[in-house]
Structure 1
């Protein structure tokens, strides 16, 4: 059967919305702005590319890779949740836990935590594995591509957002979204640990 004959706009719309809500790039704006403060520039192209590669790998070989290392999806989800937990504490308490030295490569230091676990973390992986069981690959790939465009736009406009939002607003947003990320991390731990 032809790969593109399975393309379906209804499936694409559902997949795109599901991935958009799981990735929650708009909710990650305070994290992006916080990271910009630490390292200067967030490399939108690199983060988007690596996130896309990770999502495609998750889609086609995610379970097999985890099995190769003897790790189940639940353990991977808990590991991603622990990183989110640390990020949330950093945002809420205003303490620097992820240390970024000025001499560090900002390209590399923006990969973690943005590409993984914020964009293409455990939640994205488990979602893609679940979607693969229900939807056609061509529609999932198109949904990933649409989300990558949205991710790129948000990352690329982070400098503009930083200039437009006053520091007080950014701080309040960081605390609020830090609390939301904390709740998501605890939910991921509860769902996958117990």
Structure 2
């Protein structure tokens, strides 16, 4: 049981941090707030992180209920989520900004809008479809492991948002140290890890949906 909880906690932390992608969120934050005053920037950071944290916590609490309302099985959602994460991972490998996180239209419309904390930073850049899907899948998986396993999901969400907040607050320093080339290398590595997690989601979903396949 201890080993299973440890493995699950590492899965939660790695998958949520990768899908939120604090470095990518920081780059987007810089591109959207370059002409704003420091006080306004700080407010945007606080609001974006608070809103995204609230969204993911609510999803983590009500994830099972959401699936039940729409009559969606965990297996179907896990497979669909794995396919979504696979697509995001592929775009990260090819050093592209995922369209599920930030579309060109959203980025263009936000250029002249000082209130970018909610859209597009909190949604969909930080608490996007990938993060929401991952949280729901992990929440349902936690219920099958232990009553205490769900705690690791919320801890992982808190750590991921805290890292994002820290990186945004120190965005200028980070950008002096991390150039576009370094960012692409890091992004590709994280993309490969995300693809592996996505494939595991799909494999697990298929095993649970089709137990007669004989997969153990």
- TM-score normalised by structure 2 residue count: 0.63
Match of 1:31 in 2: 24
Match of 2:81 in 1: 76
Q: Deviations over 1:123-175 (max 9, x none)?
A: 44323222211111xx2343233223323322321233313224451424421
User: CA offset at residue 54 of structure 1?
Assistant: 1.7
Structure 1: 5+ residue stretches without partners: 1-7
Matches within 5 A, 1:41-56: 41-42=44-45, 43-56=48-61
Contact kept, 8 Å, 1:26 with 1:154, in 2: the verdict is no
2:127 equivalent to 1:115: yes
Deviates more, 1:106-115 or 1:174-183: 174-183
User: CA offset at residue 178 of structure 1?
Assistant: 2.0
Q: Out of 140, 152, 155, which is 1:146 matched to?
A: 155
Distance in 2 separating the partners of 1:109 and 1:155: 15
- TM-score normalised by structure 1 residue count: 0.69
CA RMSD of aligned residues (A): 3.8
Distance in 2 separating the partners of 1:29 and 1:116: 13
Structure 2: 5+ residue stretches without partners: 34-43, 207-216
Match of 1:17 in 2: 10
- Distance of aligned partners of 1:53 and 1:130 in 2 relative to their CA distance in 1, 3 Å threshold: same
User: CA offset at residue 66 of structure 1?
Assistant: 5.7
Contact kept, 8 Å, 1:81 with 1:186, in 2: the verdict is yes
SS of corresponding position for 1:72: helix
Match of 2:41 in 1: none
Distance in 2 separating the partners of 1:190 and 1:14: 14
